[in-house]
Structure 1
Amino acid sequence: MAISTREAEPEKERRRKRGSALGESHASSSQWRTDTEQKIYSSKLLEALRRLRRAESPAPPKSRAVREAADRALAVAARGRTRWSRAILSSRAILLKARKRRAREPVRSKRTGSAGCCPGSVMNNNSSNKTPALQRKARVLGRLVPGCRKLSFPNLLEEASDYIAALEMQVRAMSALTQILTAAGAGPSAGAPLEVHPDH
């Protein structure tokens, strides 16, 4: 009887840890649903868009640059508490270096032979069929959440839950900002209207 009690204790401990992790994930994602957090993010977003506009004046910023600025502001608002926010902030310098390197490299033509592509496609299909469905979905989810490709499944779910809640708040903030700018008839600074797309 004592043996079964000792065996039951680790299982209870594992359940307690899982419940604690889920509770922390819920608390982390809930912060993005508060009006205070949305106001904080909106102010950071507006500052980022103003800096972007000054850097690319007189032409309006491109939609991709606006999205990148919005994501960086979102990562700053997360205060480095999550892996995805740290990944967004740390990838900025790497992205700039990659763009400079691509600008210096000559354009190379792509080979279009059928002999090289077909075997690889068959191998990829065969390997994907052997991979469990849940593992494939987790792999796709890990690619969608910044910095989470190699996380364990429980940690991936925690990061994804927080990231989705943050994106939902981002959409609300950008939609509200777009309505304000549209009603005002101008961007956050003098000049032509700022190109802002609420969809992410």
Structure 2
Amino acid sequence: MKLKCLPEDFRVTELTDRPTHGRGSFAIYRLTKQSLGTPEAIDAILRRWNLARQQVSYGGLKDRHAVTEQFVTIKNGPRNDLSQTSLELNYLGQTERPFDAADLIGNRFTLVLRSMSDAEVASAEQALSDVAVNGAPNYFDDQRFGSLGQSGEFIAVPWCRGDYERALWLALVDPNEHDRPDDRKEKQLLRDRWGDWLGLKTDMPRGSRRSIVTFLVDHPTD
């Protein structure tokens, strides 16, 4: 059996009961993306519409190696759609406050399983019947502790021990086999010059990592 052979083999759709047609200064959108992480998608939107990061709010991070749908609000955002490579942003209406995790009631997952043997098909069908009757346990997997990079360390371990700099290092620069070329280049730059926040702010391209570097320049004791 093979899982996630293609991005469209794994689909995630956010569910909410929050009205998307109302009044207010926050424009609300549905963001559909493929083979793109949520921070990278938000960065692309910020660049295209020349927005400040604090204008944007969303309920959570969605998988990069998938096709995902989630809600995004933008303070005084454009009342129109945006289409770019790997993402679609569809304007839904106006709302009075930012969208956040408290607005989520769940996620809908659609999976494609490939190259299954007859025994695996039978097992999957039985499992589906069991889930329909008993539900599924809400297990926590490594996703909740951060993806493992080459270091083999979970971000949560140094975080819980109070070693916040190590946790930040793992989050920002730990190499991962799924890194895109631009990500690999940025991570290498950060590893080579870790701690030189002012210089890195000057030399790094705009994006989520540079925003963190900028914060560290402005808050050197954090």
- TM above 0.5, yes or no, is no
Q: Which has the higher strand share?
A: 2
Q: Which has the higher helix share?
A: 1
- Based on CA coordinates, which of the two structures has the bigger radius of gyration? 1
TM-score by length of 2: 0.22
TM-score by length of 1: 0.24
Higher relative contact order (CA 8 A, sep 6+): 1
